[in-house]
Structure 1
Amino acid sequence: MQDQENQTVPNPEVDQAPADSTPAEAQAEATPSLEEQLAATEARLAEMHEAFMRAKAEGENIRRRAQEDVAKAHKFAVESFAEAMLPVKDSLEMALKVEAPTLDTLKEGVEMTLKQLNSAFERNRLLEIQPAQGEKLDPNKHQAVSVVPADQEANTVVTVLQKGYMIADRLLRPAIVTAAQAK
């Protein structure tokens, strides 16, 4: 009996691996074959290519839309200014239709038209450059056409011959001035 006790009893759970299978073959079955890897890589490549083409098309669409927006902005940039100028034109035409204008009515009409024009300029950010006498000469806003002797500091405005104008922060026309000469 003791012989029977020393004998090992076979365990069915441990001895289930086939006798002809080796660990290398079991690992080979777990990893995909080269053909499967190639097919998976080609599928991923096709997916990435499609994503790239979609992104490229979207970029082209954005560029095209931006170009159209810029073209429209150029085409209609003057629209708000033109709308503001229409009442000024109407007032001038009405002034010319008056059959017997007097000096007072002409002056009153010109003053009203000038107010309309100033209002149109303000709405469209067209600002006057009207330097005061004695103001330091600014070459970015003023153009000195002559230098005259004066009882003020050199390189300052003596007289304004013509107002200048700016659109927002950009110079449209410099103010034409005479400047004080150095003593």
Structure 2
Amino acid sequence: MNEDQKRPEEAVETETLDAGSPESEKLEEAAVADNQDPDPEIRIAELEGEVQALKDQVLRAHAEMDNVRKRTAKEVVDARVYAVEKFAGDLLNVSDNLARALGALPDEERDALTEAGKNLLGGIEMTQKELHTVLARHGVTAIDAAPGAAFDPNQHQAVSQIPSDQPSGAIAETFQTGWKIGERVLRAAMVAVSAGKPS
């Protein structure tokens, strides 16, 4: 049999496949399938691991965003509360001067004042009271440093220790009023601490 008489089946077998033909694409897919991992369980485990890693990333991103939101909200609140801190600190000297002016006149001499003197004294007292009201409206309040109150080193500054009728370690006397804004101390109260009853 000469070459011209070859059977059509053999002729088909010796033909080369054109790139892009359907037969060529099927062969490429088969080759790719042969190169893939034959165990689908391993591939499922890999995909589950990737899903878990992505879930962790999303949870961390949400947690970070929540932290940023809380931090920002706290900063806004602090800015509102402590915005007047420096101004309030400067006003404390005014309050001290008013207190000194009122303390300069002993109680027994107040009755001897003329009508004009009593009006002046009443005006100073009203000014001091209004100042304290305005300070309180903005979160600035006096620190409790009354005789007998417990000494707190975070809020009180001990300048001396004296014998007194107050329990040992308690505040015996206040020399200067302390102030705080919110939870921050603007100025510690200047006090004397009791050393106990005199012997």
TM-score by length of 1: 0.47
